[in-house]
């Protein structure tokens, strides 16, 4: 997938809650409107990231999986 992103965060090998916690920490360092691409391997990552974006003002731009790696594009809220 070649969607635009401003930063990338690799949380492969980590399990809940670490992928979400590290994503939150990275988003704090970003400007509103920037997109973070997160790579995860936790099988619950899809559920966790969808819940995270529903409960925060951040927006899930897209997500997909390839060969056991889940990719998430999260746009930082204003």
Q: Any idea which residues carry the catalytic annotation?
A: 16
37/2 Cα distance (integer angstroms): 11
The CA–CA distances, whole Å, from 39 to 19, 45, 64, 78 equal 9, 10, 10, 23
43 three-class SS? coil
Q: Could you give the CA distance from residue 63 to residue 78 in angstroms, rounded to a whole number?
A: 21
């Amino acid at each position: 997938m070649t969607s635009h992103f401003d930063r990338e965060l690799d949380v492969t090998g980590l399990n809940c809650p670490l992928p979400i916690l590290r994503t939150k920490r990275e988003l704090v360092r970003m400007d509103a409107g920037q997109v973070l691409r997160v790579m995860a391997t936790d099988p619950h990552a899809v559920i966790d990231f969808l819940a995270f974006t529903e409960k925060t003002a951040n927006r899930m731009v897209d997500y997909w999986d390839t060969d056991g790696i889940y990719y998430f594009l999260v746009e930082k809220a204003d």
